[in-house]
Amino acid sequence: MMPLLAFTRFEVGRLLRSWKFLVVTVGFPVVFYMLFLGDRSPSKVVDGALPWRAYLLVSMCSFGALVASLTAGGARLSAERASGWARQLRVTPIASWSYVVTKVVATMLVVLPVLVLVEAVGVGFGGVHLSAAMWFELSGLLWLSSLPFAFLGVFIGLLVHAETAFPVVTALMFALGYFGGLFVPVASMPHALQVLAHVLPSFHNTALGIALLAGQRPALSHPLVLLGYGAVLALLLLVVHRREESRGLA
């Protein structure tokens, strides 16, 4: 247990010390929040539920969690595999399965401060004011429901080569962001895109936060879809890791 905890602290420290990682993970959602902030009147209510600025805050928090997960678990992990770092860890006391578990845990630990920073921008520039209890509940809900993003990031990192990791991660980042309704309210999309949004985890992650702020009971489909994605991606992670381990690559 101690080697695993030490390795987890090491991984989180590496991520937080990387200024490039921090600029990308925090910069993208903050820049998009600032860009989209003036698209609609501050008093405009979106989907009959929330003011535009609060709606945008939730969606950009979800986007920040997505960016952090795909960057930490995807691009960085594939680079480590290419450099031979993963193979070197095989001679340490750390169990082989703990490498993947640590990557998921480290990703989730990094997602939380990203959410808090985006929320701080929402308070300072977007004028979104909530009670302390509501901020805590919103952060916890968006953080826990972003677990499928962490699984997806690590899965991509184990699956793709270092040369293709960045374009794959970038494409997924913006595809899940746009088609999941993080940039444009789903209700304003064409019908075909609305149907597509409802099968993406990014939509359901955001929908949980929106329902919370609107004081509504979330649809049962939101947690069920996220649980389904989490279970499938966890299984795929297991399969890919075992394949890589049998080849001596992980």
Q: In sequence order, what are the residues at sequence separation of 6 or more whose Cβ sits closer than 8 angstroms to the Cβ of residue 128?
A: 53, 54, 57, 119, 122
Instruction: Determine the pLDDT at residue 3.
Output: 56
Determine the Cα–Cα distance for residues 25 and 233; give it in Å rounded to an integer: 22
Taking alpha carbons only, the member of 118, 102, 101, 125 closest to residue 66 is 118
Confidence at 233, pLDDT banded by 50, 70, 90: very high
Report yes or no: 206 and 58 within 8 Å, Cβ to Cβ: yes
Determine the Cα–Cα distance for residues 84 and 121; give it in Å rounded to an integer: 39
Helix axis angle for 221-246 and 201-214, nearest 10°, is: 140
Predicted TM-score (pTM) of the model is 0.86
Q: Say if residue 151's pLDDT is above 70.
A: yes
Give the mean pLDDT of 188-212. Answer: 94
Determine the Cα–Cα distance for residues 221 and 224; give it in Å rounded to an integer: 5
pLDDT above 90 covers a percentage of the chain that reads: 36
Q: Say if residue 48's pLDDT is above 70.
A: no
Phi first, then psi: what are they for 161, rounded to 5°? -80, 160
Instruction: Classify residue 215 as left (phi > 0), alpha (psi -120 to 50) or beta.
Output: left
Taking alpha carbons only, the member of 9, 55, 63, 4 closest to residue 32 is 63
Determine the Cα–Cα distance for residues 138 and 218; give it in Å rounded to an integer: 13
Instruction: Determine the pLDDT at residue 241.
Output: 76
Q: Which of 56-60, 87-91, 126-130, 241-245 has the lowest mean pLDDT?
A: 87-91
Confidence at 159, pLDDT banded by 50, 70, 90: confident
Give the mean pLDDT of 112-120. Answer: 89
